[in-house]
Amino acid sequence: MSSNAMRVLVIGSGGREHAIVRACLRSSLVGEVLAAPGNGGMARDVRCVQVDIMNPEAVLALVREAEVDFVIVGPEAPLSIGLVDALESAGVLAYGTNQAATRLEASKAYCKDFLQRHGIPTAAYASFTEIDPALTYLKQCRYPVVVKASGLAAGKGVIIAQDEPEAVASVRGMLDGTLFGESGREVVVESFLEGEEASIMLMVCRDRYVALPPSQDHKRVGEGDSGPNTGGMGAYAPAAVVDETVQRRIREEIIEPTLAGLRCDGIDYRGTLYIGIMITDSGPQVVEFNTRFGDPELQVLLPLCETDPVGVMLACARGTLDGVELHVREGAAIVVVLAATGYPGEYERGESIELPDALPENVEIVHAGTQLDDGGTLRSAGGRVLGVTAFAPTLKEAAARAYAVCEQIRWPGKYYRRDIGVRQLTRERCG
């Protein structure tokens, strides 16, 4: 390792973190990468260290012992308990939002109040911690409505209720802890927005930001956007539904008022701002804010970056984006998530996985829920297990490359959607 190259620690164990690890390995700024706790795929790429990422003191001890120069925190849970605050207080450079900023994701009720307070377009809503007022409110709603667990629920705490009985069951299940545990002890009931969703990912340093290309996630488990919500079954970028007019409105009506609102509220925002957008007939509206990179969206955004994303993260952590620009490659990227059959419900773990010996150019397999057993066999260890990412001059070519590799992966419980990117592909076909 050269004297100028950093030792980087990536916090997390999912597909997002494996994508970040790969970006670090490609970066000229990085000499060595560690992951904590990592997964089976990361363990094949870098040294993985078992540590409780929800214990800031344990993470800090690891940072000191391993002489880490820079920490990148991937998941929302350690951000929400103040891991970045603890690292920065100890003089450690870290990329990720502080605890105050992470509240925008950790509490959907707080996020909706922020949006309303600062005049940022979003669906009408009400928040509840008790069942009776919520049931009274549901009687006056137009259906469908969206019922959200206010707390962190790994991307699965959202139910689109088609009628009042379904909404009542959802609210009861959340508030009594049956559905999402403590995450649902406060619920948000929102008007249902008609339109097409897109994901806007920014790397923010206070009043400055750089924007990654717009992407589109596929949340429902089934083809044709059917079945329950998941953490994401696939994504593609760039998403042409976010055209120049929509981009301008997002910048003027959402991004700029949001950054101004954060300053007004005294929040030192440094890290990722993920804006879930619904493009409606009346314009873009905010569905949600997340305070970390989207998963699986990041798996298609990083292959589009010509600029070293690690350098941008480092600049945010240091407190200035002056002179930093993000250059993007021409072309398209897609990721198809391979999940365990039954996800997001009950599913088998520990099944052996056989990967192809070689991959085509510009195709890679990102690991999310995998582990290596004592004999070195790769096994499934989660609901979303792998992501097959492909880059090509067109989305059609990228999709063909990704799906060809999906067919070659062997494990008994493999399940994946075969229509990732279909809206964009239809738009391109219709010209």
DSSP letter at 252 equals I
124 falls within a domain: no
pLDDT for the residue 431: 63
125 falls within a domain: no
Tell me, what CATH number does 173's domain have?
Answer: 3.30.1490.20
Tell me, what CATH number does 376's domain have?
Answer: 3.90.600.10
Residues 62 and 81 in one domain: yes
pLDDT for the residue 182: 83
pLDDT in tens, 202-259: 999 999 999 999 999 999 999 999 998 888 999 999 999 999 999 999 999 999 999 9
Residues 222 and 306 in one domain: yes
Total structural domains in the chain?
4
* Residue ranges in the chain modelled with pLDDT below 70: 1-3, 155, 431
Cα 333 versus chain centre, distance: 16
Pick from 125, 75, 133: nearest CA to 293: 75
Contacts of 5 (CB under 8 A, 6+ apart): 28, 29, 30, 31, 32
253 falls within a domain: yes
pLDDT for the residue 155: 66
Which of 272, 294, 318 is where one domain is finished? 318
d(CA 290, CA 309): 19
Neighbours of 165 (CB within 10 A): 10
Tell me, what CATH number does 280's domain have?
Answer: 3.30.470.20
Residues 11 and 57 in one domain: yes
Residues 201 and 310 in one domain: yes
Whether the Cβ atoms of residue 180 and residue 149 lie closer than 8 Å to each other: yes
Residues 87 and 36 in one domain: yes
In terms of residue numbers, what domain contains 170?
130-185
310 falls within a domain: yes
pLDDT for the residue 180: 85
33 falls within a domain: yes
Q: In DSSP terms, which residues pair with 250 in a beta bridge?
A: none
Residues 80 and 138 in one domain: no
Contacts of 247 (CB under 8 A, 6+ apart): 214
Residues 175 and 202 in one domain: no
Residues 180 and 240 in one domain: no
Predicted TM-score of the model (pTM): 0.95
Residues 345 and 305 in one domain: no
327 falls within a domain: no
Q: In DSSP terms, which residues pair with 405 in a beta bridge?
A: none
111 falls within a domain: no
pLDDT for the residue 1: 44
Residues 179 and 211 in one domain: no
Residues 13 and 48 in one domain: yes
Tell me, what CATH number does 37's domain have?
Answer: 3.40.50.20
Residues 336 and 277 in one domain: no
81 falls within a domain: yes
Pick from 249, 245, 258, 333: nearest CA to 288: 258
Is the bond preceding 412 in cis, omega lying within 30 degrees of 0? no
Which of 98, 121, 143 is where one domain is finished? 98
pLDDT for the residue 427: 83
Q: In DSSP terms, which residues pair with 11 in a beta bridge?
A: 36, 73
Which of 318, 343, 377 is where one domain is finished? 318
